[in-house]
Structure 1
């Protein structure tokens, strides 16, 4: 029979491990959480009493207590188990011998002998082995000493590998952890792989909680024809709790040594990051080429719940910086750098947005206008003139500049009031609205302008009627109960013709003419062009849902019918618009069979009987590690060039822990490869390695757009990534991340709830 004993005034000292947090990236099959004893699961963490249970207890003159037989010493969420234990009151010493087992909510420790000096608040475990309760991580030490101030281990080992797996380990002559600082120190540390020493560090510091610490991060190794051997060694500076800095010297055997930096900051109202990259001299360029650099600033401010600020700015030294050196902050195929600074206000009645905006165009392309500044105002919510009639408005002022354009500067004022009558029920929607679009321009040029070119105004009325009906019925979907919807919609749009040939193109371009674009009120972004319209748009969508509302199938088809032939103009944005009986557009997404998906979209010119654009894909998602996608993309004219591409992505487990990943994109029109990646990856419970070979079409931004078909130079390279789980960052080691490293990223099947 067990006896319970509470010793008044006894101070229990437990080990002081810091909280162990579960790693969300750990492989589920690698580590099973330990089971803690039932007595500890039922213990009250707030109970400060020390309870000692044993089969036998012997008290000697109230100075010594000997416990034997399944001894359990319990306080709060800590438990010590041993065959026997002795407490000496005079020395305030507790000693346990035999097979010692110690538990708390985070840590399990076993040892040969346990001795606690209660007067000095210290404890010592001999021949200790430890294991985290809820995450991977274990080790051993010849001696483990704990006090209120620190935890010390002598001749210690740490690894995240499971039992009987010694793939890697960190051995140290001495490890000490300060409980108040959250940092540990290791002396004479040796890192081993399969018991083979790899490197030696006489002194090492490491975090044991969420605090950050300055130090060397894992290096990055790669190679390519553009830069040669590519070696990057980041060093992290923990400057303060809310800002830090990472400096990364980067050695490129063909280019030289580059310095990269990333500064991050975070306050309750502001957050952002500043990246700078600098190469003093490029060994692959002429001596007088000059210095090469990149600067990027991203900032957001939430001043109040209504006021917000935003900055996004990128600058490079030359047009070929990204294609030749690459960057973590921009894609190497980017042809422009976006720049914007904005201040927004979200009021109860008015929304406002003030911004300055510009683009740095890379390569042999026309420069773009800068908005310096642009102020947009709009009603925050509709104003109810009657119970059903609503009024809305928006307005904008913008000043544009472009020293290389015909119109070097322009001021634009736009006002657009709208009256709307919405009638909305669950089965039927009808919206009738009319707007008046007034725009005033004042334009400047280095050349002589006549009065009509200097000042021009445009007033255009607009009428829109839009109706949609929602039908649904129960349906048999290949033997399974399903719900089918049928959603026809019709839109009438009237916008009279106005001559806009004297107005410059400041922020306006053509929008995509997909199915949903058929129901837009304007086929252009910006305000410099408002398309003429006297047209009727018809379209319908049907969907199928299973009995738990998962969307199984969707098909949409629509067409615009012109009631009046649009005026012929010489405007570059409108002269090739599809006219009369116009364009047929459709989209389809089908959850075909189990994990198979089919999607497609096309735009077809009925008059010329020619395909304008199309894309299609076949996807299989067996699991997170099994992916397949075959896709095709066609466009009749992208900047005057026909595009037809075929892509293939795949990820297949070869056997346990091994993964094969590949992607391939081909230019069908010109019979050439554009982008290819091939990688093999090994991932175990405690470490992972990936080797990737890639071959990509090298962008040439200096080439004329008409000569794109002659571009054929390819760049070949490889990268090697090695991760020790629990001793480095596993971010970016997923299959989807691997397939996103090429020019063309893998895109998951979307728009279906699956």
Structure 2
């Protein structure tokens, strides 16, 4: 074997350059199985990297050499009188970073090299094969591979081109070819192009007569396409989405991305609904050194209602580790009309927010100023209080024994309708507790001091008033912790048992003169039973003297993963409660005289094939269930998934919150690639099904397709139906449309198992 140090010094440059071709949507054609290794022949580590639908992988056995310079090998090596070196018969040129082989190779050092017959160029994770290859090292002549086939082992991208060339400026030209990431003999999709030009200096490529074919059928055609070939963003069309429903007919949208500058861009999305009208959505993004600002607008021209528009402007800026600021402006200029088609993040609401804030935060000391107003498009809906402004400040000091937290807040509430009342409120909450604990238990006594001061204006009487309230709450939380180990299938598991006891004393204070700006009553659960306040918000200080008993038990497997958690608790009231959410308080008239709460229970299980979450509130006095929740996910055998849920919530403060419904959703395979999914939801109070879904899905290593029929109860309490199609091409893009108006089992199927997408 001879060694000629400068023989083909440019081969490595070409091999590395062509590497960029394999991660882009180019144009190529035909399947080959170079370096293809079936799954059963892969190592355990290689198989672990495959998605469940992939049947093998491209494995390159080429290795870089430690040889310096260039080595030549052939049956015959001859240099003629013109200085042309001829390698005849199994010719090979080996460099540290690449290898060129062919039946015959000839060339003049630093000028050109021509390879003919079974040409192969290999480098790290890259492969090019062709009938002929001309590599130019000088002059204006381009480097050209004829009838080229190329492969990227790492990405799995492969294809074919009639001609693959590169000029001296680094611009690549590809003629008549395709590109795909599908496995051999599984060509679900291909991207074809008649002519492609790639300009690495400018970072983009252009293609003519581009087709995307699925199962041999052309589903998209672009006369001309411009696309990025590096990480820089490029202006161009994005993939459209489409759907069909009984009430809308055909729906179609085609987003256009506009890369205006490195730090700002826009997405413009025309919308069309056959039976409703047409519209356009806009998203404009700006990136500053401190944060992001986004403007969104959705406008739709409805055949019946006319123009429907929503606007949103949001900015979040962080100036340094301490200071941040932001604002949010939402608007519905077409009063109480909402776009039928909308791809933005703003949707139909009762109230649209306009707010701004400035914040200082150094960890345990937080200060924030917020200005908040609303737009309420529907005149029949009461407008919420506005903050003009709100100032929050909090500080926390925590040691191993002492935990002290103080929260201060000032709010200037304004009632936009100027009826009833509004005013200013000052809040001061101080919570101090002592943490006494060790490995087997804890004892935490504490005091919560609350102060409220109000300056109020009554619009009905056009009068002003002031009132205030001070309150001290004391509490003691305690727990014990018992543990034991036991054998479960020859492995050591651990069980904990934790009894809890909490005492809370919150004396009665009359609050007849205290308004309600933001008070609410929480849902009673096991966790809420150990809270030190009866109400959410700052306008109600609930009175109670109570003892809460709880018992928790957990099971941990041999790897210390929590498998089971059981909780049960109950509140025992020592005094009646006289403070209600409406503020009318009378020491002689109790609003709640029950001696104990419901029995509050909770259970959770996390297994390899099953998971379960359940909550049950049982009234021991009336022997009835007030709350029952169950969510279960089951996978009894591989690939079969069953989702179950049940909700029973009765005797709520607001009857509109009562619910009694059940749902079952399933995903099960038909064969290796096909799956079917269904869902049915029944409302026992309506005595009717509110959601019915049936669909099929197909997935292999390079494509995923889902089609479903859905019949559901929409937000207007009316039934709607539609057919939804989605598909995604690995390493290319996705298309189709999901049902954005209802969460369902179709979303679960679409989002599961998307390894490599």
Instruction: Report TM bin, short chain.
Output: 0.7 to 0.9
Question: SS in structure 2 opposite 1:688?
Answer: strand
Distance in structure 2 (CA, Å) of the matches to 1:479 and 1:449: 78
**1:86 counterpart residue number:** 106
Once the two structures are superposed, the pairs formed by residues 297-312 of structure 1 within 5 Å of their partners are 297-312=313-328
| Cα gap change, 1:236 to 1:450, in 2 (>3 Å) | closer
Matched, 1:295 2:311: yes
| Cα gap change, 1:355 to 1:746, in 2 (>3 Å) | farther
Distance in structure 2 (CA, Å) of the matches to 1:194 and 1:580: 70
Deviations 1:598-657 (A, max 9, x none): 321022333333322220122114699642111100111452133101111222222232
**2:436 counterpart residue number:** 423
Matched, 1:543 2:550: no
Matched, 1:140 2:145: no
**2:54 counterpart residue number:** 30
**1:394 counterpart residue number:** 407
Matched, 1:97 2:108: no
Give the counterpart of 1:445 among 455, 458, 462.
Answer: 458
**2:36 counterpart residue number:** none
Distance in structure 1 (CA, Å) of the matches to 2:374 and 2:23: 44
Distance in structure 2 (CA, Å) of the matches to 1:4 and 1:739: 69
Distance in structure 1 (CA, Å) of the matches to 2:275 and 2:737: 27
**1:704 counterpart residue number:** none
Distance in structure 2 (CA, Å) of the matches to 1:678 and 1:68: 64
Deviation at 1:97, TM superposition (A): 1.9
Matched, 1:619 2:613: no
| Cα gap change, 1:406 to 1:541, in 2 (>3 Å) | farther
Once the two structures are superposed, the pairs formed by residues 350-499 of structure 1 within 5 Å of their partners are 350-357=365-372, 365-382=381-398, 388-404=401-417, 406-448=419-461, 454-477=465-488, 480-499=491-510
What TM-score, normalized to structure 1?
0.86
**2:655 counterpart residue number:** 640
The answer to whether the 8 Å contact 2:395/2:407 transfers is yes
Deviation at 1:406, TM superposition (A): 4.9
Deviation at 1:682, TM superposition (A): 2.1
Question: SS in structure 2 opposite 1:729?
Answer: strand
Distance in structure 1 (CA, Å) of the matches to 2:440 and 2:547: 22
Question: SS in structure 2 opposite 1:6?
Answer: coil
Once the two structures are superposed, the pairs formed by residues 122-521 of structure 1 within 5 Å of their partners are 122-148=142-168, 149-195=170-216, 200-279=221-300, 281-285=301-305, 291-317=307-333, 321=337, 328-329=344-345, 337=352, 340-347=355-362, 350-357=365-372, 365-382=381-398, 388-404=401-417, 406-448=419-461, 454-477=465-488, 480-521=491-532
The answer to whether the 8 Å contact 1:156/1:175 transfers is no
Moved more, 542-551 or 632-641: 632-641
Deviations 1:239-258 (A, max 9, x none): 12222211111112222111
Question: SS in structure 1 opposite 2:397?
Answer: coil
Between the two proteins, the alignment pairs up a number of residues equal to 718
The answer to whether the 8 Å contact 2:664/2:681 transfers is yes
Matched, 1:656 2:672: yes
Moved more, 354-363 or 209-218: 354-363
Deviations 1:683-709 (A, max 9, x none): 233333322222221333xxxxxxxxx
Deviation at 1:449, TM superposition (A): 6.6
Distance in structure 1 (CA, Å) of the matches to 2:514 and 2:285: 43
The answer to whether the 8 Å contact 2:579/2:591 transfers is no
Deviation at 1:529, TM superposition (A): 0.5
Distance in structure 2 (CA, Å) of the matches to 1:732 and 1:134: 31
Moved more, 659-668 or 439-448: 659-668
Deviation at 1:217, TM superposition (A): 1.6
Distance in structure 2 (CA, Å) of the matches to 1:561 and 1:567: 16
Matched, 1:531 2:542: yes
Deviation at 1:595, TM superposition (A): 0.5
Moved more, 524-533 or 405-414: 405-414
**2:610 counterpart residue number:** 596
Distance in structure 2 (CA, Å) of the matches to 1:622 and 1:100: 53
Question: SS in structure 2 opposite 1:343?
Answer: strand
Moved more, 389-398 or 434-443: 389-398
The answer to whether the 8 Å contact 1:647/1:664 transfers is yes
Question: SS in structure 1 opposite 2:302?
Answer: coil
Distance in structure 1 (CA, Å) of the matches to 2:339 and 2:496: 48
Deviation at 1:666, TM superposition (A): 1.5
Deviation at 1:532, TM superposition (A): 0.7
Question: SS in structure 2 opposite 1:464?
Answer: strand
Moved more, 186-195 or 439-448: 186-195
| Cα gap change, 1:277 to 1:715, in 2 (>3 Å) | same
Distance in structure 2 (CA, Å) of the matches to 1:375 and 1:25: 52
Question: SS in structure 1 opposite 2:733?
Answer: coil
Deviations 1:178-219 (A, max 9, x none): 121221122344444555556654432222222222222221
Distance in structure 2 (CA, Å) of the matches to 1:474 and 1:621: 29
Distance in structure 1 (CA, Å) of the matches to 2:128 and 2:751: 45
Matched, 1:587 2:602: yes
Matched, 1:63 2:78: no
Distance in structure 2 (CA, Å) of the matches to 1:564 and 1:447: 37
Matched, 1:565 2:585: no
Deviations 1:476-522 (A, max 9, x none): 44775310011222211111111123222112211221111111111
Moved more, 719-728 or 629-638: 719-728
**1:705 counterpart residue number:** none
Distance in structure 2 (CA, Å) of the matches to 1:354 and 1:483: 48
Moved more, 463-472 or 165-174: 165-174
| Cα gap change, 1:241 to 1:727, in 2 (>3 Å) | same
**2:44 counterpart residue number:** none
Question: SS in structure 2 opposite 1:381?
Answer: strand
What TM-score, normalized to structure 2?
0.86
The answer to whether the 8 Å contact 2:667/2:749 transfers is no
Deviations 1:397-449 (A, max 9, x none): 01112234754321000122333222232332222221321110111121127
Question: SS in structure 1 opposite 2:578?
Answer: coil
Distance in structure 1 (CA, Å) of the matches to 2:231 and 2:278: 33
Deviation at 1:28, TM superposition (A): 5.3
| Cα gap change, 1:730 to 1:75, in 2 (>3 Å) | farther
Question: SS in structure 2 opposite 1:548?
Answer: coil
Question: SS in structure 2 opposite 1:17?
Answer: helix
Question: SS in structure 1 opposite 2:685?
Answer: coil
**2:32 counterpart residue number:** none
Residue segments in structure 1 that go unaligned for 5+ positions in a row: 701-710, 750-754
The answer to whether the 8 Å contact 2:291/2:317 transfers is yes
Distance in structure 2 (CA, Å) of the matches to 1:417 and 1:445: 30
Distance in structure 1 (CA, Å) of the matches to 2:454 and 2:606: 51
| Cα gap change, 1:536 to 1:551, in 2 (>3 Å) | same
Residue segments in structure 2 that go unaligned for 5+ positions in a row: 26-47, 753-757
Question: SS in structure 1 opposite 2:78?
Answer: strand
| Cα gap change, 1:55 to 1:633, in 2 (>3 Å) | same
